[in-house]
Structure 1
Amino acid sequence: MIVSLPMYDRPETAAANDALWQGLRAALGQGPETLNRDGAIWDHWLSPDLLLSQTCGYPYRARLHGHVTLVGSPVLALPDCPPGLYYSVFVVRADDPRERPEDFATACLAYNDALSQSGWAAPQNWAAARGFAFDNPVPTGAHRASAIAVAEGRADIAALDALSWQMMQAFDPFPNRLRVLGRTDPTPALPYITALGRDAGHLRAALNDAITALPAPLRTILGLAGITHIPEQDYLALPNPAPPPVPRPSK
């Protein structure tokens, strides 16, 4: 069986994720001894051996829906956010005088991945609702890398998963060079998934028990308050923005 929790796994949160899995494994009475941290993430998500993983809302609606079973949505410890939802924060350099995300329409937007809800779809959908687009994007491969690119002046703005941003503020030195300029509209949080044919209700109940039993300091590290059920239709209803342009090869 495969179990992975890749979306908020970093050195400072690894022990808390390990503890969450051990609690879930005890509740389920089955599963591997340790989390799978090796191999390609898409191989985990699409494997018939998948017991549990966490994906992003955009990959779920664009490629995974119909190939996996939706288990549930995390309730995150985010301010001003309904249970089961999350949002992105727009971050810019602390000394940048521009006052609105709209002022960065032609500036360089750092984004983690073209299939990221929080890094690509959320900011572009937010912009489209206001009559513009971020039209000068650069890929970075990770939210943390996007934040660093802005802090170092290689990009001007980034939309970061709000929980990832909280973790950066807790564990990294560079956020003091950045400031939050705004946030995107809330959308369903990063869903837990399992392979087709598995009992989603049983997994969701066991995961709820594991989260509840997790010591409060570990729940705080993970920014995790519980789990809820967001219908798959809510994930599928979100629009898919145009993909970013293919980067031109350097001469």
Structure 2
Amino acid sequence: MIASLPMYDRPELRTETDRFWQAIRESLGHGPDHLTRGGDPWDDWQSPDLLLSQTCGYPYRARLHGRVALVGTPDYSLDGCGPGEYRSVFVARAKDARTDPMEFAAARFAYNEPMSQSGWAAPAAWAEAHGFEFTDTLRTGSHQASARAVAEGGADLAALDAQTWRLMQRFEAFTTELRVIAATDPSPALPFITAPANDADTVFRAVETAIAALPSETRNALGLRGIVRLPPEAYLAIPTPAPPRA
């Protein structure tokens, strides 16, 4: 069996993430001894041996829906979001005088990857709703690289998963050179999934029990407040914009 929690698995939080998995495993009564790390997440997500993982809403609606079972959605209690929601924050250099993403329509926009809800789909949809599109784009490979590109002048604007941004502010000194100028509307947060042959309700209850059993310092370190049930339709209803030009 495979278990992975790749989406917020920062090196500084490995102990807490491992503790979270062990609590889930104890509640389930079975599962791998250790989390899988370092491989291709697509291989894990689509494996018939997948017991638990976390994916992004965009991959779920674009490629994984119907191939995995939706377990539930973690609640990170993010500002401006309801239970089980997250959003993207637009970050610019702190010394940049511009205060609205619309002012960056012709500027360089850094994004992590095309199939990222928070890094591309949400900000692109926000731009479309405001009558423009990001045409000068820079693919960076990660939210952290996008933020660093803005801080170092390689790009002018980026959109970051609000939970990722919260963690980056805790651990990355260069984030003091950035500031949030706007945020997208909330959408369903990054879902937990399992292989379709597994009982998703049983896995949900195990995750729910594990979160409640974690020491408060572990929950606080991970930003976890609970897990909620959202239907697949909540993810499938999110619009998918055109891919970036570069």
Q: Same fold (TM over 0.5)?
A: yes
Separation in 1, partners of 2:148, 2:220: 24
The residue number in structure 2 matching 1:199 is 199
The residue number in structure 2 matching 1:5 is 5
Measured on the aligned residues, the alpha-carbon RMSD in Å equals 0.7
1:100 is displaced (CA, Å) by 0.4
1:28 is displaced (CA, Å) by 0.3
SS of the equivalent of 2:72 reads strand
1:77 is displaced (CA, Å) by 2.4
Q: Deviations over 1:172-228 (max 9, x none)?
A: 111100000010110000000000121111100110010111111111111110000
Counterpart mapping for 1:223-242 below 5 A: 223-242=223-242
The residue number in structure 1 matching 2:74 is 74
The residue number in structure 1 matching 2:56 is 56
Separation in 1, partners of 2:214, 2:77: 15
Separation in 2, partners of 1:175, 1:87: 18
Counterpart mapping for 1:1-251 below 5 A: 1-246=1-246
Q: For structure 1, which runs of at least 5 residues remain unmatched after alignment?
A: 247-251
Q: Name the aligned partner's letter for residue 189 of structure 2.
A: A
SS of the equivalent of 1:148 reads helix
Separation in 1, partners of 2:230, 2:108: 34
Separation in 2, partners of 1:220, 1:109: 32
1:243 is displaced (CA, Å) by 0.6
Q: For structure 2, which runs of at least 5 residues remain unmatched after alignment?
A: none
TM-score scaled by structure 1?
0.97
1:38 is displaced (CA, Å) by 2.9
1:134 is displaced (CA, Å) by 1.3
Separation in 2, partners of 1:74, 1:131: 33
Separation in 2, partners of 1:38, 1:239: 30
Q: Name the aligned partner's letter for residue 112 of structure 1.
A: N
Separation in 2, partners of 1:223, 1:132: 34
Separation in 1, partners of 2:87, 2:161: 6
Separation in 2, partners of 1:110, 1:222: 26
Separation in 2, partners of 1:21, 1:146: 29
SS of the equivalent of 1:227 reads strand
Q: Name the aligned partner's letter for residue 18 of structure 1.
A: D
Separation in 2, partners of 1:139, 1:99: 23
- The 4+ residue runs of structure 1 with deviation greater than 3 A are none
Q: Deviations over 1:124-155 (max 9, x none)?
A: 01111111111111100000010000000000
Contact 2:80 2:186 in 1 (8 A): no
Q: Name the aligned partner's letter for residue 180 of structure 2.
A: V
Separation in 1, partners of 2:63, 2:124: 19
Contact 2:89 2:161 in 1 (8 A): yes
Q: Name the aligned partner's letter for residue 217 of structure 2.
A: P
**Sequence identity percentage:** 58
